[in-house]
Amino acid sequence: MEFDHIKSSAALIYDEFIQNADSRTESWFLMSSPLPQTIVIAIYIYFVTSLGPRIMENRKPLDLKGVLIFYNFSVVALSVYMIYEFIMSGWGTGYSFHCDLVNYSESPQALRMAATCWIYYFSKFIEMLDTVFFVLRKKSSQVTFLHVYHHSIMPFTWWFGVRFSPGGMGTFHALLNCVVHVIMYTYYGLSAMGPNYQKYLWWKKYLTTIQLIQFMLVTTHISQYFFIKDCPYQFPIFIYIIGLYGLIFLFLFMNFWYHAYTKGKRLPKVLQAQMWAHHTNGVINGNANHEKDE
């Protein structure tokens, strides 16, 4: 009986909560409730952290070169399309980059923005294939907490964005993210094409710099809300979530930068060797100078 009471109370709370949702997106794919996406995300986490590695444990890594080239450049094309749609539905056609509210009307431009938000949301499920490919290729070092957390939290939070607030200042980080993904997935696509192209990919280190800049801009933009005297944004909770999201990922990527590049753990082996040689020479020269001083 107690369980039934808890269940009915939870259902009542959810019904009251969902009454404030955007009716325009209610019938769209995966938008009926957060349950379907929660199941997908749970399966994703289970596969990439447990089931997948066990399946591949005694198998050779799969050769996915052709699949990776197609996948990465497809994500580039999709990201370019979303950039165009975000610009044409608001960010280049009227948004002030300050207190931009959600347009809940049935106007073509408002519906275009809502549809673009849904496409962006759905693209987060497509990007989960990043981790699946790592597992199938037995690149276990790539399946980090940061990576899995990022690919899990983005679609989950964006369901609420599309259902309640598809537009306005809360979508600036999505536009920026699409720009970053054009650069990132172009790199990944070229890298997948083989050694003949990898020598031109010296700018790998700067991908993390670009991501850091992205989260700095996201945090700066969304922080305006707390300094604007009159900004009647319809769902302020999303402002707090985006701000927290920006800060968390800024911290995580700074931590990644420190361990990957300052310590040289993720640099190409040639550069790691150069760093080690430089460090060793510095120690030897330092000791030699110290002996001279004595």
For the residues of 45-70, what is the DSSP string, one character each?
A: HHIIIIIHHHHHTTSPPP--HHHHHH
b or e along 150-168 (b: 16 or more beta carbons within 10 Å of the residue's beta carbon)?
bbbebbeebbbbbbbbbbb
CA atoms within 13 A on the CB side of 150: 21
Rounded Cα gap, residues 202 and 187, in angstroms: 10
Q: Which candidate in 98, 147, 150, 259 is catalytic?
A: 150
How many Å apart are CA 171 and CA 169, to the nearest integer? 5
> Quick one: CA dihedral 115, 117, 121, 126, positive or negative?
positive
Residue 225 neighbours by CB distance under 10 Å: 18
Question: CA-CA-CA-CA torsion for 48, 51, 54, 60, nearest 10 degrees?
Answer: -60
Any catalytic annotation for residue 259? no
Query: Tokens in use for 47?
Result: 């596969």
Q: Is 223 strand, coil or helix? A: helix
Helix (H) or strand (E) holding 148, with range, is: helix 145-164
Q: Which residues are tagged catalytic?
A: 150
